[in-house]
Structure 1
Amino acid sequence: MNLPDFLCIGAQKAGTSWLYKVLQEHPQIFMPPIKELHFFDRIGTDDLKLRHRHHQLARKAATREERKGDAADRNLIRYLERVVAHDKVSLDWYREAFSWPVAEGVRKGDITPGYLEISEAEVAYARDLLGAAKLVLIVRRPLDRELSQIRMLAQRDYGTKVPTNDGEWMRLYKRMRKHEDRGAYSQGIPRWQSHFGKENLLILPYGEMRADPRGFLAKIEDFLGIERLETYEYLTAEVHATQKLEIPEKVVARAIRKTAEEDAYLKSALGEAFFERTR
């Protein structure tokens, strides 16, 4: 049906880029050449910035293939051209992204961390469209995730420089906090579970990915019903690492207060032991 069998729904700054890279290596998994398709949160929109990024990634994949010369897979290049031929984030476009023929038993996946924060109606639509698809969620300690996100903003805004005072850091933090639902596990987890069922949502702690990446992947492989791959090239790679910029204590204290409720929810819903493994 040219639709994904599983979604990784989040969270931002919780290792989803790494997961995308390693899952691309598994012969029983197909990942489109575009990470973060943003279908369920942007359907029907003319998001030019998003479409530009989709085009860039597809073109890069096509260029890599064309460099192979006579050995290039022309069918793959034509597939990539079809993916970027659509003007909008539409259902036809989403199906096109998964139109690459896959063998029996191969699972198709969409990793878009922004899905954690989508609305009740959007989750309901995902359930109607995909049926009882499998869901994966990586939980990172809310404070760590939030501080990583503000560091990412600082990198984007300041490049190789660093914000020079508390005021600049606080402006970055306030801008980030405009998106209150990002990393809101207390909203996203119950919402997705209510439509897909607890048995179809695999929740994994971020710290386990860092401490035992092979064991972490084994849980995903078992959950998806595929064979365990013995080796992964990117198993220990660090993808899209954020600079370890020092954030002023005033901003950190503000973040601690803002994430306290999320901490309490995770401890209550998933247990203290699980929470400790999210660091």
Structure 2
Amino acid sequence: MRGSGDPDAWLDDDASPPECPPGWRTGPPDFVGVGAQKAGTTWWFKLLTAHPDVHETGGQRPELHFFDRFVTGWPGPDDVERYHRFFPRPPGAMAGEKTPIYMACHWVPRMLRDAAPETRPIVLLRDPIARYVSGRTHEDARLARVHRGVRDPANEVRWVSDAFAKGLYAQQLGWLYAAFPREQVLVLQYERCVADPAAQLARTYAFLGLDPFEPPSDELARPRNVTRREKLELEPERRTMLVDLYRDDVARLATLVPDIDPALWPDFS
């Protein structure tokens, strides 16, 4: 039976599982982009699905948001079967999804493991200060639009706290590693992906067991998180506070994932 969280209450018709053509199969996703928000995940997922052996599943929104909606209840067999139906693919092809809030939801990694124990989570991590600014810029604009410029203090407090929490990467990876073996998880650094996308994409393909492939150069160089919104300017005092609050988590992250280079994050170099 469906868990009491009932994702159908949140997923619209556009997110209904697509049809599975004759001869194709459905099943657990081969990979899932789980985070972090505002770290180039949309760009990277487009590059992944450009590979000829990766099928870009139809009938779903850019982000599926299946498990984060189970804030109460637990996915039952019917939920798991429904999740699997989002991933039809032809013989020999891979399929996956990306919902970058998954990593920030402590309940999602174990739900994902229960539904897809062999899936390979993929994580992109960005300088937490830059991620915070990008997230705040996006959400501040959304709230202003929704509330027609009238301030909503309750939502502002919730969102600012949430924006900070999403940058605690070591904590979130701890939840992910408690659910999946480390060798089953790929952690990439956004700044390295921007500096050398071809090399980091080749690493991603190899992690998934895919043959080498070079996507069109315009896809590799496409803009990432480009916005016309006025970028949030942090007060010097707030920036200093955020750096101090993130410092221990960044140090833990560098120990947890030696490939992460804090020198690429100016405030932590």
TM-score by length of 2: 0.72
* Aligned equivalent of 1:41: 68
2:239 pairs, out of 223, 247, 252, with: 252
* Aligned equivalent of 2:252: 265
* Aligned equivalent of 1:275: 262
2:185 pairs, out of 201, 206, 214, with: 201
Give a deviation string over 1:126-174, Cα, whole Å, max 9, x none.
2222122212111112122112211222332446xxx9xxx999x9576
Task: State how many pairs are aligned.
Answer: 226
**Residues 183/36 of structure 1: CA separation in 2 closer, same or farther (3 Å cut):** farther
* Aligned equivalent of 1:58: none
Q: List aligned pairs for 1:69-108, cutoff 5 A.
A: 90-99=79-88, 101-104=89-92, 106-108=93-95
Q: CA deviation at 1:237?
A: 0.6
Q: CA deviation at 1:193?
A: 1.6
Q: Give structure 2 stretches of 5+ with no counterpart.
A: 1-25, 73-77
Q: List aligned pairs for 1:184-199, cutoff 5 A.
A: 184-199=168-183
* Aligned equivalent of 1:224: 208
Q: CA deviation at 1:267?
A: 2.7
Q: CA deviation at 1:194?
A: 2.5
| Mapped partners of 1:142, 1:249: distance in 2 | 16
2:223 pairs, out of 218, 227, 238, with: 238
Q: Does the CA contact (< 8 Å) of 1:20 and 1:31 recur in 2?
A: no
**Residues 30/183 of structure 1: CA separation in 2 closer, same or farther (3 Å cut):** farther
1:129 pairs, out of 115, 127, 140, with: 115
| Mapped partners of 2:67, 2:221: distance in 1 | 30
Higher relative contact order (CA 8 A, sep 6+): 1
TM-score by length of 1: 0.70
Give a deviation string over 1:218-254, Cα, whole Å, max 9, x none.
1100000111212334111114424444333233233
* Aligned equivalent of 2:198: 214
| Mapped partners of 1:274, 1:246: distance in 2 | 25
Q: Does the CA contact (< 8 Å) of 1:141 and 1:263 recur in 2?
A: no
Question: Are 1:140 and 2:122 matched, yes or no?
Answer: no
